Amino acid sequence: MFSIIGTILVFGAVIGGFLLEHGKLPVLIQPNELIIIGGAAIGTLVTANPMHILKSLVGAVIGVLKGSPYSKQRYTETLKMLFDLLTKARKEGAIAIEADVEEPDKSQTFSKYPAFLKDHHVRDFVCDTLRMAITGGVSAFDVDQMMEVDMDTHHHEASQPSVALQTVGDALPGLGIVAAVLGIVITMGALGGPPEEIGKKVAAALVGTFLGILLCYGVLAPLASIMGKNVDDEHSYYHVLRVVMLAFIKGTSPIMAVEIGRRAIPGHSRPNFKEVEAACRNKGGA
């Protein structure tokens, strides 16, 4: 939502300033220039990226419009879920959660947390890690190394859409110059015509450069930046899951493991101690 507001402010400020200088708005409406720049930008995006990145890019843009899902409520709910699962393992033995991690869709524990089950990357990260832990014979160091590799791989993959979009954004000023040069070529062919006609063609050519720069620094660069921040938020969420599970595998009690995880949550989304304790002790909702 804030990304949409920011984009509206960018265009509002640019167009508003242009109108205050008594500029004529119809001059900026140049569909042909937009076709040249937009079509070339899409072409470079398709040429430079495989299909799986293009699909991820669409999902990343939708994620920007929805906003980051990693709120205080999401973290509190996650810590409560881990507390319930780890408490079950502590009381009944690690083998008691084998059915939960083998078939999470049928788990009574996980069924209380639909957001966790819906996010298959997070679900697999937790279940695959605990599956290795309960089999025995795997050291905490090896489990930690496995989680680190998994997180790094996922972070690299999740960062590719923002990098692809930033690359296209960096190319837009150059594509704007291409459109402007084409406009100048057309203008040269009309030098013998009326001055008004030549002026319109020159204006159209300059609008091409204007659109390339505006779309680069006013739209795609900020969009790629917020996409990168969303990826970092997701990585922080995985880190919390990692430290909680690792602490428990090392023998820490469930409530202490959850507290360690709470301390790893970024400050702007971190619930306080009482909120987490109330959720874990069933004295309040997540």
Residue 5, both tokens: 């507001």
% residues pLDDT > 90 (the chain) = 66
Mean pLDDT in residue range 13-34:
88
Confidence check: pLDDT of 283 > 90: no
Confidence check: pLDDT of 285 > 60: no
Confidence check: pLDDT of 193 > 80: no
Query: What is the band of 212 on the pLDDT scale with cuts at 50, 70, 90?
Result: very high
Confidence check: pLDDT of 236 > 70: yes
Query: What is the band of 252 on the pLDDT scale with cuts at 50, 70, 90?
Result: very high
Looking from the CA of 284 toward its CB, the CA atoms found within 13 Å total 11
Q: Tokens 């030098």 map to which residue?
A: 191
Supply angle C-alpha 88, 125, 161, rounded to 5.
Answer: 150
Mean pLDDT in residue range 212-233:
94
Nearest to 158 by CA among 215, 237, 81: 237
Mean pLDDT in residue range 144-164:
95
Residue 80 · residue 207 · CB < 8 Å: no
User: Is 13 among the domain residues?
Assistant: no
Confidence check: pLDDT of 235 > 70: yes
User: Is 26 among the domain residues?
Assistant: no
Q: What gap in Å lies between CA 234 and CA 158, rounded to an integer?
A: 9
Cβ count near 19 (within 10 Å)? 11
Q: Tokens 């832990």 map to which residue?
A: 133
Mean pLDDT of the chain: 90
**Which residues contact residue 165 at a Cβ distance below 8 angstroms, ignoring those fewer than 6 apart?**
45, 57, 60, 220, 223, 224, 227
User: Is 16 among the domain residues?
Assistant: no
Nearest to 82 by CA among 238, 283, 233, 268: 238
User: Is 12 among the domain residues?
Assistant: no
How large is the angle between the packed helices 195-215 and 140-188, nearest 10 degrees? Answer: 180
DSSP string across 125-177: HHHHHHHHHHHSS--HHHHHHHHHHHHHHHHHHHHHHHHHHHHHHHHHHHHHH
User: Is 95 among the domain residues?
Assistant: yes
User: Is 193 among the domain residues?
Assistant: yes
Q: What gap in Å lies between CA 20 and CA 13, rounded to an integer?
A: 10
Each residue's pLDDT tens digit, 70-112: 999 999 999 999 999 999 999 888 888 999 999 999 998 899 9
User: Is 220 among the domain residues?
Assistant: yes
**What's the domain range around 235?**
31-280
Each residue's pLDDT tens digit, 176-186: 999 889 888 88
Confidence check: pLDDT of 284 > 50: no
DSSP string across 6-25: HHHHHHHHHHHHHHHTT--G
How many independent structural domains does the chain possess? 1
Q: Residue 1: its pLDDT value, please?
A: 67
User: Is 24 among the domain residues?
Assistant: no
**Which residues contact residue 235 at a Cβ distance below 8 angstroms, ignoring those fewer than 6 apart?**
151, 155, 158
Q: Residue 135: its pLDDT value, please?
A: 79
